[in-house]
């Protein structure tokens, strides 16, 4: 008989978030006020963060037979959990305005989001393929409902359906990949899989299984060619949900990617070229298509696709003289935490502007500096950071940090692709930023009382992201050394 020990302290972050989801739903039903659910969500995240930090080094769900544990908390997993939780707090602040005027139902919104977050918090510490695939589905399933929650928009249901179909296809392929890996190695635990990878070269079946497993991860991070759901889904959803998908949901995907590549590091000569092609195509494709976008959210959607390619670069270059290790993981996490602050900030500004003026096309941001100088400066700073230009130094530094890996590894073509993609990205980032400071063609539309209700919370989210991005630019070690702090 197999007996598993359960350490509730190790599972505390996930349990707190799951409990908070239920409390938020009940609180809204009792009080009939969606803002109460938002408050519960923010408190839940605030409580979960210290639990995540305190759980470092813990492990649980361990088998009494071979002492293999399904849940192991490491400094890397804590860093990823903190990114997910802090980003969720920012998204809840962004969504508060929509909840206040009942554009989305508050209790259901917070409930679904925290349910998804519980899976995103679980993923970084998972230690076997079964728990990983279940956690990935826990992240994905509530997001389909979140996208469809947008009231009065038929496009939202279509966007949710598209994301659902892509998800089902990727999961089916990944489950088949897991079956192949289990059939060739006889293991699902990451520790046992890593030992099997070190003991022998990959067989054709194992190679096929690993490539298939990467399909669900590619879907989560919207890497080309698994990106087809992202632009339409971002456009169909509310801006806060689009922001959530672009950062928190992607963070879950990158967590899974780090776990999988770290487990099969011994087979890097097999999977690294595949990931390198994904990274190169994603960087170039995302930036090239972004050049043609006119809607602000859709442009940010393609921008986030391109940014995902940058984040993958260190893993794609793991070969030859560069081995998978702490330096590679730090480069990925450093870019991810900076991207979270920059991208959420840009989405937050778009949410505030759309609410106050009804503007949805980035070309109509012309003259925003005259009407809302604070928002214009903030958006310009976020765009400069995403482009990797001063004064957003953190954007430049994380790009240099990830570029170092392919250079040291000798994967020059990938470094060249990244350089070209970055130059292409400058075109639309700078064009949008320039619009902010041009003479406006027309006066800003008046702000109605309904539009102003609750908008201060979205402004707070802008300020929070701006403060984080500035702090990272002044002290880059806060982002690049995040893993070492745990």
pLDDT at 449 over 50: no
Instruction: Give tens-digit pLDDT for 163-194.
Output: 888 888 888 888 888 999 888 888 888 888 88
pLDDT at 320 over 60: no
Other CB atoms closer than 10 Å to residue 358's CB: what's the count? 11
pLDDT at 442 over 80: no
Confidence band for 67, pLDDT divided at 50, 70 and 90: low
Instruction: Give tens-digit pLDDT for 279-302.
Output: 999 999 999 999 988 888 999 999
CB distance 350 to 297 below 8 Å: yes
Rg of the chain on CA atoms, in Å: 22
Distance CA 331, CA 269 (A): 20
Q: Any idea which of 215-224, 329-338, 444-453 has the lowest mean pLDDT?
A: 444-453
Q: Any idea which of 115-124, 283-292, 301-310, 320-329 has the lowest mean pLDDT?
A: 320-329
The long-range contacts involving 97-102, CB below 8 angstroms and separated by at least 24 positions, are 97/351, 97/355, 97/453, 97/454, 97/455, 97/457, 97/458, 98/238, 98/240, 98/454, 99/34, 99/35, 99/37, 99/38, 99/454, 100/34, 100/35, 100/453, 100/454, 101/450, 101/453, 101/454, 102/34, 102/151
Would you list the DSSP string of 92-159?
HHHHHHHHHTTSS-HHHHHHHHHHHHHHHHHGGGB-BHHHHHHHHHHHHHHHHHHHHT-TT-HHHHHH
The long-range contacts involving 151-155, CB below 8 angstroms and separated by at least 24 positions, are 151/102, 151/103, 151/104, 153/236, 155/235, 155/236
State how many domains the chain has: 1
Q: Can you tell me the mean pLDDT for 194-215?
A: 86
pLDDT at 91 over 70: yes
* Between 355 and 419, residue with greater pLDDT: 419
Confidence band for 329, pLDDT divided at 50, 70 and 90: confident
pLDDT score for 450: 45
Cis before 363? omega within 30 = no
Under DSSP, the state recorded for 363 is G
Structural domain range at position 102: 4-485
Q: Mutual orientation of helices 250-263 and 190-199 as an angle, nearest 10°?
A: 40
Instruction: Give tens-digit pLDDT for 125-134.
Output: 998 898 899 9
Distance, CA of 275 to chain centre: 18
Mean model confidence pLDDT for the chain: 86
pLDDT score for 452: 43
Confidence band for 1, pLDDT divided at 50, 70 and 90: very low
pLDDT above 70 covers a percentage of the chain that reads 93
Confidence band for 202, pLDDT divided at 50, 70 and 90: confident
Confidence band for 40, pLDDT divided at 50, 70 and 90: very high
Q: Can you tell me the mean pLDDT for 7-29?
A: 89
Confidence band for 105, pLDDT divided at 50, 70 and 90: confident
Q: Can you tell me the mean pLDDT for 255-267?
A: 88
pLDDT at 440 over 50: yes
Tokens representing residue 337 in the block: 């935490």
Distance CA 410, CA 458 (A): 44
Distance CA 361, CA 300 (A): 11
pLDDT score for 115: 93
pTM score: 0.92
Q: Can you tell me the mean pLDDT for 406-430?
A: 89
């Amino acid at each position: 008989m197999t007996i598993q020990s359960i350490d509730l302290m190790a599972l505390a972050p996930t349990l707190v978030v799951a409990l908070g989801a239920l409390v938020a739903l009940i609180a809204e039903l009792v009080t009939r006020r969606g803002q109460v659910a938002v408050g519960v969500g923010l408190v839940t995240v605030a409580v979960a963060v210290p639990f995540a930090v305190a759980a470092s080094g813990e492990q649980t769900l361990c088998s009494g037979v071979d002492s293999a544990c399904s849940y192991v908390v490491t400094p890397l997993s804590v860093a990823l959990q903190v990114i997910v939780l802090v980003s969720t707090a920012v998204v809840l602040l962004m969504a508060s305005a929509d909840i206040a005027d009942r554009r989305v139902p508050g209790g259901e919104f917070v409930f679904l989001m925290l349910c998804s977050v519980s899976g995103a918090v679980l993923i970084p510490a998972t230690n076997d393929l079964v728990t990983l695939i279940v956690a990935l589905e826990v992240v994905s399933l509530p997001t389909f409902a979140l996208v469809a929650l947008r009231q009065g928009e038929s496009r939202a249901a279509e966007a949710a359906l598209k994301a659902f179909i892509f998800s089902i296809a990727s999961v089916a392929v990944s489950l088949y990949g897991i079956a192949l890996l289990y059939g060739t190695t006889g293991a699902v635990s990451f520790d046992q899989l890593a030992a099997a990878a070190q003991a022998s070269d990959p067989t054709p079946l194992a190679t096929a299984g690993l490539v298939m497993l990467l399909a669900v991860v590619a879907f989560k991070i919207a890497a080309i060619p698994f990106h087809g759901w992202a632009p339409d889904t971002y456009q169909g959803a509310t801006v806060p949900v689009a922001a959530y998908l672009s950062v928190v949901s992607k963070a879950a995907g990158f967590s899974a990617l780090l776990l999988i590549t770290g487990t099969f590091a011994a087979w890097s000569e097999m999977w690294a070229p595949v990931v390198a092609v994904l990274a190169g195509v994603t960087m170039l494709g995302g930036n090239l298509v972004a050049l043609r976008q006119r809607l602000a959210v859709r442009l940010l959607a393609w921008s986030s696709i391109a940014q995902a390619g940058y984040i993958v670069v260190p893993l794609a270059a793991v070969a030859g003289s560069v081995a998978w290790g702490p330096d590679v993981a730090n480069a990925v996490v450093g870019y991810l935490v900076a991207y979270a602050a920059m991208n959420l900030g840009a989405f937050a500004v778009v949410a505030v502007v759309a609410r106050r003026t009804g503007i949805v096309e980035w070309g109509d941001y012309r003259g925003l500096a005259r009407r809302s100088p604070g928002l214009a400066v903030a958006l310009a700073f976020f765009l400069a950071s995403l482009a990797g230009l001063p004064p957003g130094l953190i954007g430049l530094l994380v790009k240099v940090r990830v570029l170092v890996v392919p250079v040291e590894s000798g994967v020059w073509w990938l470094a060249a692709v990244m350089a070209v993609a970055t130059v292409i990205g400058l075109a639309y980032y700078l064009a949008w930023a320039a619009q902010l400071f041009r003479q406006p063609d027309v006066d800003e539309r008046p702000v109605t009382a309904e539009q102003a209700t609750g908008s201060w919370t979205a402004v707070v989210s802008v300020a929070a992201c701006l403060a984080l991005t500035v702090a990272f630019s002044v002290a880059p070690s806060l982002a690049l050394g995040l893993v070492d702090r745990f």
